[in-house]
Structure 1
Amino acid sequence: MEGDVDKAALVEEEEKKKSVNNDVAHDSGKTPGRIWTFWTLFVVACVPVIGAGIQYFRNTHISQRHEAALKTLGAEGLFLFSSLDVDHDLYLSPEEFKPIAEKLTGVAPPAEFEEEFIADPNGETLTLHAAMQPLLLETMTKSKDGFLGVSHSALSGLRSWKRPAVPSSSFSAAHFRVFLPPKGKGEPGDTWWIIPSELNIFTGYLPNNRYHPPTPRGKEVLIHTLLSMFHPRPFIKSRFAPQGAVACIRAVSDFYYDIVFRIHAEFQLNDVPDFPFWFTPGQFAGHVVLSRDASHVRDFHLYVPNDKSLNVDMEWLYGASESSSMEVDIGYLPQMELRAAGPSTPSVIYDEQGKVIDTREEGGEPIHFVFEEIHWSSEISRDEAAGRLEVTFYPFKKVAYLPFSEAFSRAEAEGKLVHSILLWGALDDQSC
């Protein structure tokens, strides 16, 4: 009997020990999970605080460096420095310092095409000639020195720009493939962006306090090279929307396209120490006739339209910062154009035996090439193609904008209302 009691007591004691062990094991299983949850929430809560601290440290550091730079360089010196400091980190990388190095050494490497546009050395070449008549200063309201505070230095770049920077230049025909339509575009009236616009009414505009354009990329390279024939500092992407370039197929044949295009770009006419002066033609228009594989260019023409009384917008700064006062004027440019000297021709030709010969005959006269006549299988008018370009740049052009007398007569005949707009310049280009 006594033995049975002892055994019962031992069994009870063992059961208590197991119960205690189970409770301890249960608690120990909960504790790590709770700790892990606590630290996870703690880290999540700390991330924004740490990020804000890092950002505060960076802003404070940049502010201190900005004050030190202002003290060392002065307002105008800092303005020049900031115009080169593209990423605004208050350091000049070798690439950012490159424009100053080129100016000091007088050596500026020519614009290079990207690898995808490297042409066949045995392919055809096209020669373009540039022609320009300078802006008529009397068409400006602020053209005279001292008038409304206009200084001579502000207009120095404009006054000295009398002729094209590069009167003539040769190009590989293959470089003009940037004008070929993309897949899915192949009929007259089809439009597409060659250089897409990156600005709209919501994104604002690009800075005014710049002297040197960014390095062109991709399809921008050819457009930049073409406009550089007029002036060495073209900005392919204008400060204000719409920017970029749009093309439209005007006509097609079995082997050729006739493509019209429109470009919105601008020039920076001043250099240090003068403040920036922006010269913005209303638009660059033109057309190119080229083969479907871009091996041959039959014709090319690029120009600033001169059919309006005012066709150029001009803006210049009077201070050393982006917030400095700016003057605005408008004027008339009689001529700015590039024309092909003729169709592209082979740089290397072969005789009947397959031997390479020069493009000139023995007497020194160039060999005359005979080109077949192009028969367009489908086409639209130049005006219709230009209208499609306008609508692409300005969707509001879907509505007809007419001279007041014509609009009033049409509205009276159709019983409709007339809404009027008073313009300084053209509604559908950058000279407004």
Structure 2
Amino acid sequence: CTSGMGVVACLPQLVVCSIDLSTVFQEAGLKTLGPEGLFLFSSLDVDHDLYLSAEEFKPIAEKLTGIPPPAEFEEEFLHDPNGETFTVSAKMQPLLLETMTKSKDGFLGVSHSSLSGLRSWKSPATPSSTFSAAQFRAFLPPKGKGELGDTWWIIPSELNIFTGYLPNNRYHPPTPRGKEVLIHNLLSMFHPRPFVKSRFAPQGVVACIRAVSDFYYDIVFRIHAEFQLNEVPNFPFWFTPGQFAGHIVLSKDASHVRDFHLYVPNDKSLNVDMEWLYGASESSSMEVDIGYLPQMELRVAGPSTPSVIYDEKGNVIDRRGEGGEPIQFVFEEINWSSEISREEAASRLEVTFYPFKKVSFPNALMDINMSVVLVVYVGSGRTLRETVLESSPVLALLNQSFISSWSLVKELEDLQADEQNLVLSQKARLHLEKYSFPVEMMVALPNGTVVHHINANNFLDQTSMKPEESPSFSFSGGFDDPSTSTYIRFLQEGLDKAKPYLQS
């Protein structure tokens, strides 16, 4: 999966499913609160239990008071000189500049200085580094999350409809705290200026237990972070990989790390977003592009080992050599008592980041019957993810009636060119015929026939508010978003247009 560039495909099932707020409560809520009040309540009620906890009310409190509560951080890691350590190696191949779609020298006013940080970044900042096994305690599941397939936030997203996105005109990341420290240290091996918390959603780090044994976990994780490549006097240049994926095998007390791997997936034709300013202020114009990064990964040289071994009486019987060579061990094979596939674990991480997403676009087109309708977004999906697809009522509707997905436009073109699967090729062609830059919203049948569509620029024009129409403070600006009702109306119109085909 990539971030910021793709196709969103939603499959609304023509089956009535239960919803979190029953019809009775919806009617009572409308009568008591009105549409705007009910929208506000449902947007805050994250777990849909009809009760606002203090944590759920936190965005409102911050908005009203203007004073965010002090951040809570775990106690900083204390180094144990006798603990196990291991070496992590960094490898990377620079971005293939020819894969950038429009940012060649002299094209669209792109200056050489704008891309100076990108062009000079050829290798990892730190090719090799030693870590303590105990530092990786940050990857252990919290209480209540120790079962197979459990997912949790290691670094939760702090973005919401009130905060918006983080500023673009920055050069240096904020000081990391708590679990952010380890992620920052790892990413700093690639470049000295990683931002652990990305400017836009999705933001943060999510983990999932892939396998469990008596003494070990195999934990799969996913990170959304970015790098600032330029320094003064050049204007900021943001380098945002689609995601950092990886896994770690560690003991349940974090005293021993058997394996660790972190990488930017390179199985897509494009896997990096890039944005850069043409001025120093937040209001300066911004240029964007995408490209392909062949390799960016961290691997362990071997399992963690102690620096000193003691006998039962406390006497030293072996120690790490002066050259830093680890003590030689023979490690037992881990027998997992229960496990799921890496693909299943990765899917659970993806759904945690994107609650509206369920399956890949090719899988959405294959193996589905004529009782479903597809909703497809061809092009970059970030604007939609940060607006209508962040809305709790929309997410409730998607989870109730849809199976969701996205893919790159390039992947649709590849599917269209696939002579080995003519059925899928034909469906991809029908979608691409209706596509116009930058994003086309389509409602289509399982056979690929598009029955309803609108360009995202037109969609956003219909839902935008003029500055003089926007109040200085109103819940309407955050919750009663015209794009939400327009989005839902678009889906309903598409379903109405699809019904004659489904009934024939």
Give the structure-2-normalised TM-score: 0.59
Q: Deviations over 1:3-52 (max 9, x none)?
A: xxxxxxxxxxxxxxxxxxxxxxxxxxxxxxxxxxxxxxxxxxxxxxxxxx
- Alpha-carbon spacing, 1:288–1:228, altered in 2? closer, same or farther (3 Å): same
Indicate if the aligned counterparts of 2:219 and 2:247 stay in contact, CA closer than 8 A.
yes
Q: How does 1:20-419 map to 2 (within 5 A)?
A: 116-350=76-310, 354-356=314-316, 359-360=319-320, 367-398=327-358, 400-403=359-362, 407-411=364-368, 413-419=369-375
Which structure has the larger Rg? 1
Q: Distance in 1 between matches of 2:183 and 2:114?
A: 28
- Alpha-carbon spacing, 1:189–1:363, altered in 2? closer, same or farther (3 Å): closer
Q: Which residue number corresponds to residue 92 of structure 1?
A: none
Q: Distance in 1 between matches of 2:183 and 2:273?
A: 20
Q: CA deviation at 1:188?
A: 1.0
User: Per the alignment, in what secondary structure is the counterpart of residue 331 of structure 2?
Assistant: coil
Q: Deviations over 1:37-77 (max 9, x none)?
A: xxxxxxxxxxxxxxxxxxxxxxxxxxxxxxxxxxxxxxxxx
Q: Distance in 2 between matches of 1:185 and 1:259?
A: 12
Q: Deviations over 1:309-367 (max 9, x none)?
A: 00000000001211110000000000000000000000112368743255357999754
Q: Give the number of the structure with larger relative contact order, counting CA–CA contacts within 8 Å between residues 6 or more apart.
A: 2
Q: Distance in 2 between matches of 1:254 and 1:145?
A: 57
Q: Which residue number corresponds to residue 421 of structure 1?
A: 377
Q: Which moved more, 1:136-145 or 1:213-222?
A: 136-145
Indicate if the aligned counterparts of 1:142 and 1:150 stay in contact, CA closer than 8 A.
no
Q: CA deviation at 1:115?
A: 5.3
Q: Distance in 2 between matches of 1:148 and 1:389?
A: 38
User: Per the alignment, in what secondary structure is the counterpart of residue 346 of structure 1?
Assistant: coil
Q: Give unpaired runs (5+ residues) of structure 1.
A: 1-112
Q: CA deviation at 1:212?
A: 0.3
Q: Which moved more, 1:383-392 or 1:362-371?
A: 362-371
Q: Deviations over 1:225-269 (max 9, x none)?
A: 000000000000000011000000001111000000000000000
Q: CA deviation at 1:143?
A: 3.5
Q: Distance in 2 between matches of 1:367 and 1:211?
A: 42
Letter of the 2:238 partner, please give it.
W
Q: Distance in 2 between matches of 1:242 and 1:424?
A: 14
Q: Distance in 2 between matches of 1:298 and 1:308?
A: 29
Q: Distance in 1 between matches of 2:245 and 2:279?
A: 34
Letter of the 2:361 partner, please give it.
L
Letter of the 2:132 partner, please give it.
S
Indicate if the aligned counterparts of 1:156 and 1:270 stay in contact, CA closer than 8 A.
yes
User: Per the alignment, in what secondary structure is the counterpart of residue 300 of structure 1?
Assistant: strand
Letter of the 1:138 partner, please give it.
E
Q: Deviations over 1:90-134 (max 9, x none)?
A: xxxxxxxxxxxxxxxxxxxxxxx9853113210100110000000
Q: Distance in 1 between matches of 2:346 and 2:380?
A: 22
User: Per the alignment, in what secondary structure is the counterpart of residue 397 of structure 1?
Assistant: coil
User: Per the alignment, in what secondary structure is the counterpart of residue 259 of structure 2?
Assistant: strand
Q: Percent identity?
A: 82
Q: Distance in 2 between matches of 1:167 and 1:363?
A: 18
Indicate if the aligned counterparts of 1:261 and 1:286 stay in contact, CA closer than 8 A.
yes
Q: Distance in 2 between matches of 1:187 and 1:135?
A: 39
Letter of the 1:280 partner, please give it.
T
Give the structure-1-normalised TM-score: 0.69
Q: CA deviation at 1:424?
A: 4.5
Letter of the 1:131 partner, please give it.
K
User: Per the alignment, in what secondary structure is the counterpart of residue 384 of structure 1?
Assistant: helix
CA RMSD of aligned residues (A): 2.6
Letter of the 2:375 partner, please give it.
H
Q: Give unpaired runs (5+ residues) of structure 2.
A: 1-72, 383-404, 410-438, 440-504
